[in-house]
Structure 1
């Protein structure tokens, strides 16, 4: 497996793959890789001839009081894990390589409407950072397909929209959330949890599942269900950010007759912000 740090070296490698007629998959990451990331690489391996994983902690998607400086950077360990997973090329650029004139002077990509909801409401500018860096990576790597985890459900929706709107010839694939044995969604930020918090963290996923069951049983008072979940999480020591029941496609609040529904949840536990989601499809004939 090869690692490159510059766009010129990346393009030289990609051009060689293209000349060989290879199909290229991109797995964008911020590093500190866990089994969920490696599952994306394994899936990419099944879909393409060449798998490129990018490792870049993107400063543009971190707010002023967020964990940019403390975000774990583990390139050597990540390289070993990726080599074992069958990855072909690691692209690990510096911030200067991605934003040569500084982020304040760089062109930004803004996806309207959908980025103003949920995580976008509590993290202003976050999805502009995501959309900008993903567009840059797409143009640097020029992949045939790119794979993202569904844990970041809103992020995936944003990337799908920008790819459609900008007519980018890239297939976007979402992979189911990879979970720990007790159901907790895998995340690099789980390392911030204390032992006691780690034991409690599963309650967010459990609350999402419990709410999904109530909807399957026939409840459609979505606002009340959301408020009940927020109250329960608050009582159990979380600081809920949001708990929203939405249409899976638009991410707007779910309507009574919607059949594709996603429940999005975000909550702080200590200094760790957890996000997760559960999707369900309701049978219109039995609804």
Structure 2
């Protein structure tokens, strides 16, 4: 058995349109070890969300190999949790019932797990609240707790904080890091924000579009907790930004634009 939780080899994805085929992903290669936190950045149209959907098993029409725990991913499963930009909660259910989903809170083990997750995402006191009574950040914390309920091997986050204000976004980043450090869940986090990518990730994946592929994977050798104002953080951010600017230059020189 390999040491990697997730293995992606020679991944290619093509969409058919009335105007012809569009290559969304080309020869994507990536290996992620258990418990690692990867952030993924790149221009619009580089295939970040497509890659996440394939790993989640929501898109199985592709060429290549995508393995989770050495087994091919052929559809959604409890081994994979996914969180989108919108919380997507059931408005008629309370916080605790949204987290439990189709499982009954009357089961002692489910009740215990839900209570633990509510504490983990810092929502004590809001167990009986409905989504309409929650802020955007609180609703997203419910989504995270729900995704963690079945102890997934990998948690996929597709710009989960993109719609939040700056203060709430910063707070949610701290919450997510706290969850990751306590649970050691393997995480892949898509973002457009370079600061966010450096603040969260152990490694930053930089993608290039047309067709979408991985240009580079940069290790972030900064200890946690990280401070955005530190010299070390700014130096790493500059390195990532320089690499990202190479992507932008390539795209603009191709005449395609971003």
Q: Relative contact order, CA 8 A, sep 6+: which one is greater?
A: 2
User: Fold match, TM over 0.5?
Assistant: no
TM-score (norm 1): 0.27
Query: Which structure is higher in helix share?
Result: 1
Query: Which structure is higher in strand share?
Result: 2
